[in-house]
Structure 1
Amino acid sequence: MSDVAVDVLVVGAGPAGSAAALHAARAGHEVLVVEAGPLGRDKTCGDGLTPRAIHQLERLGLADAITSHYVNHGLKLHGYGGDVTAPWPSSAYGTLGSAMPRTAFDEYLARAAIAGGATVWDNATATAPDVIDGTLTRVTVTRSSVESTVRARWVIVADGVRSTFGRQLGREWHRGEVYGIAARSYVSSSRSDDPWMHSHVELRDEDDTILPGYGWIFPLADGTVNLGCGALSTDARPARLNTKKLLAHYARQQRTDWGLGEPERVTSAMLPMGGAVSGVAGRNWMIIGDAAAGVNPLNGEGIDYGLEMAEHAVTLLDAGYADLTDVWPQLLRDRYGEAFLLARTAARLLTYPKFLPAVGPLALRGPVGARLMPTAARLMANLITDEDRDLMARLWRAAGGTVSAVRRGTPLWS
């Protein structure tokens, strides 16, 4: 067994972990990243990159390699006899979106972290965190059957939705709040270069029953599309559907329109959302990204939040705090709390089976849909900022403050 000492240990080389490693290395820290699998982890993900995610990649100097390959212009929503086109609105984040398969995207960011000065160990598992009075003093890392003891001044945990290492530190997922279930596949398509992300909000099973879910098709400009389906669920109203079976049926429904082949590389997962976790920090450690439920409950998007949390985490390290136990959860609540609580409350409505069939036709048909859905797309894509002063931004923030007051005490990085 060997001993390794670094300034920053990052557990997980997904987007949040690699971004944190790159930020920390550029700040002058000695950084070690440990990733349980090979570089380029896969995940049940739509692979879409909103303008907010592209904005964070621009801050890292990594956006051009992605947007030069493919850009999309916004969302197209379909269902209930209507279609609505919702271009990315002008915002502080710009108007460029993109998409990239997760294995390629994650490997790209991990290799950027290496080029930026971080050391990355792949196929390396972090276990046995030794915590004394809230301080994480050492971690056992096993790589090629060889164990190393890693000691770090700070530890950033970005090990994904299951957060195996985070759970060892006490991270708890509160499933009474809204969470997502989804299945994803890659399918050859004659429309792989389509410059729009598509969502079908009227999802029917083989018996033509409307389900409390939605389907998506995100072109990847590589001869394939990312095709998947998802649903929102709570412990009280679990989504009782077989997502993989539904995905196959959805692909058959869209085959002619999209020139689809057969779904491949099908995966499925459950996803914590909207900050509905607790135990996300100790004196010298923080949990970020999907592991911290940094996911918008209205659309399942989490890459943008993961990239932002990575930058916030490293900023805190350089601020000189002696104890992050309360500082990190408070930062997350200040940055995302009201928006996440409001999104969780709105998403809870979608778990009622009769809600979508009642409002779907109104939202997607005629002049009402043409006005309403672009605004909804702005919310779903996380494109309202604190600096925005338009009517929709003011209404969104006012609603967020009201919901936060009503739902005080709701699990939110508590």
Structure 2
Amino acid sequence: MRHVDICILGAGPGGATAALHLAAAGHKVLLIDKAVFPRDKICGDGLSGKVISELRRLGPEVLSRLSASAAQVPSWGIDFFAPNGRRLSVPFKPRYNPATDAPAGHVIKRLDFDDFLVREVRQRPEIELLEGVDVAQHERTADGRWLLRTAEGEALVSARILLVANGAQSVFARHVAGHALEPAHHCAGVRAYYDGVQGLSADNFIELHFIKDFLPGYLWVFPLPNGQANVGVGMLTQAISAQKVNLREKLAEMLDTHPALRERFRAARRLGPVRGFGLPLGSKRRPISGNGYLLLGDAASLIDPFTGEGISHAMVSGRHAADWAGRALAAQDTSAAFLRQYDAAVYRRLGQELRLSHWLQRLLQFPALFNFVANRAANNATLAETLSSMFLDLNLRERLRQPSFYVKLLFGGK
């Protein structure tokens, strides 16, 4: 059995980011994942500007390696399609020039992106990576450490502090941290890959379609290399239950019949099965730490309630988790009271944006109001820039604190 100071469960974006920051600070880390990489992860596959910012914090060479990868395409923004069909194009970067500017976003399959991060992890001698190891039991010992076991009860690791980044289905998050599945704060989705979709943006804008008969859900189309696209739908679990929606059937129906989609998908070919997944949303603030542990990313229920984007929030939480794990070890204090400062740091960074996204999510219940916001945004620089800022690492949080911002948001202005 290994005895370590820091153990991370899950080598996805949150866990890998935490491990890399800890290694850079000189800490030895044990990183465990039940999968063997490369492995697939069901996702929309978009990397927003906030992801770019987090990659840059890992080192400019990391971002350069990603940008040079043939597995990604640069993406310059988002096309929102309102229920009335109005398109609102929101660039990640105002007045961008694809010929000269560094990409403001990327689209890359999670199979490739997560493997990219794991390859970065493998280059660090401070990190020991164990793949294909499923931790099933978690026990707090009398000396304040975490004892991790397999399903058969074999003792694997004793750790002073545990960073839990093992995803939306985390047993630890449910059974130890008490994160129950709440249908009002949980989204279900299905995704498939397609080839031959017509009308994709020349600048690889990702598409979010808010279709009247599918609200409060949405359909997405994300362009990928080699003419492929990630196509899927997501809806609040509460609404799925109330409306008795079959997401797989609804996806096929909309692609076949919706006026904005049917011609574009007439000659498209689906590559592989339609796969489903669940997303615990950040529309409710939850405790994300406790005695000797920190929750990261999807395990911390930090997914954006409006867009379903979770990669950047996982990486943000990974960076802060590395910081506070290091501080806890230096202070020789891994108590819940000390680690609660991690919660404060994460919600300082993400809390106001999550609240804004929750507000936008609730707009989906009122198509006429959503149409109004989309129409206003097309002629309101402040509102359009706000939507853009949600996907960047701009100082949106400071503006959200200013009363004048809301005047401009409601009544227009620069």
TM range (shorter): 0.7 to 0.9
Aligned position for 1:408: none
Three-state SS of the structure 2 residue aligned to 1:241 is coil
Aligned position for 1:247: 251
Q: Find the partner of 1:164 among 157, 165, 171.
A: 171
For 1:239 and 1:375, locate their aligned partners in 2 and report how far apart those are by CA, in whole Å: 34
For 2:154 and 2:146, locate their aligned partners in 1 and report how far apart those are by CA, in whole Å: 16
Aligned position for 2:78: 75
TM-score, normalized by length of structure 2? 0.81
Matched, 1:149 2:147: no
Aligned position for 2:63: 63
Aligned pair count reads 382
AA in 1 matched with 2:48: T
TM-score, normalized by length of structure 1? 0.81
CA contact (8 A) 2:78 2:207 kept: yes
Aligned position for 1:212: 216
Percentage of identical aligned residues = 25
Matched, 1:89 2:93: yes
Q: What is the Cα deviation at residue 51 of structure 1?
A: 0.7
Three-state SS of the structure 2 residue aligned to 1:40 is coil
Matched, 1:28 2:26: yes
Q: What is the Cα deviation at residue 16 of structure 1?
A: 0.6
Aligned position for 1:410: none
Q: Which runs of 4+ in 1 moved over 4 A?
A: 190-193, 235-239, 386-389, 395-399
For 1:296 and 1:397, locate their aligned partners in 2 and report how far apart those are by CA, in whole Å: 22
Matched, 1:181 2:188: yes
Q: Find the partner of 1:318 among 308, 326, 329.
A: 326
CA contact (8 A) 2:184 2:236 kept: no
Q: Find the partner of 1:106 among 108, 114, 135.
A: 114
Q: What is the Cα deviation at residue 152 of structure 1?
A: 1.7
Q: Find the partner of 2:8 among 10, 29, 34.
A: 10
C-alpha distance after superposition, 1:177-222 (max 9, x if no partner): 4322211111113567842333343426xxxx45422111111113
- The unaligned stretches of length 5 or more in structure 1 are 400-414
Three-state SS of the structure 2 residue aligned to 1:8 is strand
**Superposed counterparts of 1:196-345, under 5 Å:** 196-203=204-211, 209-234=213-238, 238=242, 240-252=244-256, 253=258, 254=261, 256-257=263-264, 260-262=268-270, 264-274=272-282, 276=284, 278=286, 280-319=288-327, 320-321=330-331, 322-325=333-336, 326-345=340-359
AA in 1 matched with 2:388: R
- The unaligned stretches of length 5 or more in structure 2 are 96-101, 408-414
Q: What is the Cα deviation at residue 383 of structure 1?
A: 4.6
AA in 1 matched with 2:16: S
Three-state SS of the structure 1 residue aligned to 2:269 is coil
Q: What is the Cα deviation at residue 262 of structure 1?
A: 2.0
**Superposed counterparts of 1:329-408, under 5 Å:** 329-350=343-364, 352=365, 355-356=366-367, 358-365=368-375, 369-371=378-380, 374-375=384-385, 377-378=387-388, 380-381=390-391, 383-385=393-395, 388-389=398-399, 394=402
Q: Which has the higher helix share?
A: 2
Three-state SS of the structure 1 residue aligned to 2:315 is helix
CA contact (8 A) 1:54 1:97 kept: yes
Change over 3 Å in CA distance of 1:332–1:369 after alignment to 2: same
User: Which stretch has the larger CA shift, 111-120 or 96-105?
Assistant: 111-120
Change over 3 Å in CA distance of 1:214–1:10 after alignment to 2: same
Q: What is the Cα deviation at residue 161 of structure 1?
A: 0.6
For 1:216 and 1:283, locate their aligned partners in 2 and report how far apart those are by CA, in whole Å: 39
Change over 3 Å in CA distance of 1:53–1:317 after alignment to 2: same
AA in 2 matched with 1:39: F
Three-state SS of the structure 2 residue aligned to 1:63 is helix
Aligned position for 2:99: none
AA in 2 matched with 1:331: A
For 2:401 and 2:389, locate their aligned partners in 1 and report how far apart those are by CA, in whole Å: 9
Change over 3 Å in CA distance of 1:102–1:49 after alignment to 2: same
AA in 2 matched with 1:58: R
